[in-house]
Amino acid sequence: MNRKNLQDIVRYLIKTITFTEWINIDNIPSQGGFILATNHMSRADVPILFGMPVRDDVIALAGDSYKKNPLFKYFIETTHCIWIDRNSADFAALRAAAACLKNGNVLGVAPEGTRSRTAQLIEGKPGIALIAEKTHSPIVPVALAGSEVTFTRLFTLRRPHITIRFGEPFELPPMQRGDRDARPKTCTDEIMCRIAALLPPQYHGFYANHPRLKELLASHLT
């Protein structure tokens, strides 16, 4: 099976066995490379974003631990996702991610680096910020809610209700004098707080009391 056929099947399944809402999907640029930065609570997250109704060229960074599962390995390799070793500085994967963006594709990344087992945000890792800075790519934050119970509901013959909310594209601010050491964390927090601002409060987790999240939420209310 090729990538296009698999994508058609995934889109059909999303429509027929889930209640999925795509909110503010017009924030997705119609062309050009950008980073799609998402929270990650379920193995269903990658297929869901792969099947979004716009942009057929999403390529995800996928942890190589998924190679142990034959079904997920088949899916990831068929969709041309980029394998990454989460336990080391995987420079080959980072170069492939940069090439993906320079070729005008969408790079799907979970800044947390792994799946949250608590259905709440965990602390982000700096890899996505480094890729964004190296390639000067815009970032579109996206927040998935409800995906954490996808398989539980499907196995009990209930359709999961999933919302996918897209934020506005943004770029990381220019580096200021003297902030080189703190910049990776500052940029990572900016990305994660923008994802958190799109989520209901019960998902905020590690970032629940972050000052930047409070600023973003206050600006949305004014």
Q: What are the structural domains of the chain?
A: 3-221 (3.40.1130.10)
Residue 222 has pLDDT above 50, yes or no: no
Q: What confidence category does residue 11 fall into, taking pLDDT thresholds of 50, 70 and 90? A: very high
Highest-confidence range of 65-79, 89-103, 156-170, by mean pLDDT? 156-170
Phi and psi angles of residue 141, each rounded to the nearest 5 degrees, phi first: -75, 145
Mean pLDDT for 60-86 is 87
How far apart CA 56 and CA 53 sit, in angstroms, is 8
Residues contacting 76, CB < 8 A, separation 6+ = 46, 60, 62, 66, 83
Q: Decide if 78 contacts 1 (C-beta within 8 A).
A: yes
Query: pLDDT per residue over 137-184, tens digit each?
Result: 999 999 999 999 999 999 988 999 999 999 999 999 876 665 777 888
Query: pLDDT per residue over 181-203, tens digit each?
Result: 788 899 999 999 999 999 999 99
Q: What is the pTM of this model?
A: 0.93
Indicate the pairing of strand 106-109 with strand 82-84.
unpaired
How far apart CA 201 and CA 124 sit, in angstroms, is 17
Residues contacting 117, CB < 8 A, separation 6+ = none
Mean pLDDT for 197-213 is 97
> Quick one: pLDDT at residue 62?
86
